Amino acid sequence: MIHLTKIQDLDRDNLSQIVYQALSFEQNTSSCFPTLRDYSLATIFQEDSTRTRCSFQMAALNFQMKYLDLNVKTSSIQNKGESMESTLHTLHALGVNIACIRTSDESLFSSLALADLPSNFHLINAGDGSSEHPSQAIGDIVTLEYLNDKTKNITLIGDLKHSRVYNSLVQAILLYSDDIKITLAGPSWGISEREHNYAKSFPHRIRVVECRKEEEMDEVLSESEIIYLLRVQRERHINDNDNNYSSCSYNKIYGINEDRFKKHNFLDKKTTILHPLPANIGTELDDFTQRSPNYKAYVQVRMGLFGRMSIINNLLNHQK
């Protein structure tokens, strides 16, 4: 693996190795982590981020790497028209080995694949528009293994159309496991041709359910072992007719709230509830759900750190 720009950069062996190495990092103290002080990692985030940016920074620090956060708003990319390719060559000349890039441009990594980047320089896609978020998907697979969840089904609910998290996670699940079945559910405005194409390509593994009524979503939830709530991507609805809803009406039909939590007996059933964060409290879930022991979003954050550490270690081991 030279770059991680999409899940398709991996095969099953690559993914399994990354996941199990991440789990071993979780079990060890920092003194047992590899020392990578001769290497440098840079983050280039053209969109806002808390967890992804901070976890890559913490991963670099855990390895004693040098870390550089390029402030895009004051950079030549933002203000002088410098291309990303030129910026990456500049960072490599300064000694950077890995660049983690977040962008709204879904064609960026395809164009960079044609760039003449040095062989000892590695790219990680930290999220590109509504397309991919491979390091989040890997962290979620690590989370499922950490929770020792031998689930046979997972239900992803919400704004699938605009979610890079779900797109990478579905691909990662299909690559990692032959057993887990996937339900994609949500409002009609949150479901696109991409979701239906998944169901057509994997009819025995994936189904799509467009829910218009509370009862329809309840039927889906009654069959769910793991519920993965997706954030409503309000910032990507600007040019769509996707914002004709209120938080209250969305939560009543598609979200998890105290009434629904108790109705489905999630506590006794030990139903796992995941969310990639940040969560819109009052939309995808309420305070009661967020404070319940079933809610494992912060386990996802922690496992995402170890997943990203494993990605970095694997990329750098490739060049040794």
* Same domain, yes or no: 120 and 190: no
Position 29 scores a pLDDT of 77
Residues of the chain with pLDDT under 50: none
* Same domain, yes or no: 75 and 114: yes
3-state secondary structure of 206: strand
* Same domain, yes or no: 97 and 72: yes
* Same domain, yes or no: 312 and 288: no
Does 34 fall in a domain? Answer: yes
* Same domain, yes or no: 117 and 184: no
* Same domain, yes or no: 82 and 121: yes
Instruction: Identify residue 171 by its one-letter amino acid code.
Output: Q
| The pair of three-digit structure tokens given for residue 62, joined into one six-digit string | 């855990």
What is the value of pTM for the model shown? 0.95
Q: Would you say 160 and 35 are in contact if contact means Cβ atoms under 8 Å apart?
A: no
Does 263 fall in a domain? Answer: yes
Range of the domain at 74: 7-133+305-319
pLDDT, one tens digit per residue, over 131-164 is: 999 999 999 999 999 998 677 899 999 999 999 9
* Same domain, yes or no: 204 and 234: yes
* Same domain, yes or no: 152 and 232: yes
What is the CATH classification number for the domain harbouring 25? 3.40.50.1370
* Same domain, yes or no: 185 and 83: no
CA 249/CA 159 separation, integer angstroms: 14
Does 281 fall in a domain? Answer: yes
Position 310 scores a pLDDT of 97
* Same domain, yes or no: 153 and 283: yes
Does 143 fall in a domain? Answer: no
Q: DSSP letters along 42-94, please?
A: EEEESS--SHHHHHHHHHHHHTT-EEEEE-GGGSHHHHS---HHHHHHHHHHT
* Same domain, yes or no: 197 and 291: yes
* Same domain, yes or no: 30 and 92: yes
**Nearest 10 degrees: Cα torsion 81, 82, 84, 90:** -160
- What sign does the CA torsion over 186, 187, 189, 192 have? positive
**For the chain, how many structural domains are there in total?**
2
Does 221 fall in a domain? Answer: yes
Position 239 scores a pLDDT of 63
Alpha helices in the chain (DSSP H): 12-27, 51-62, 76-79, 84-93, 108-112, 134-146, 164-176, 193-201, 214-221, 247-254, 258-263, 266-269, 287-290, 297-319
pLDDT, one tens digit per residue, over 48-67 is: 999 999 999 999 999 999 99
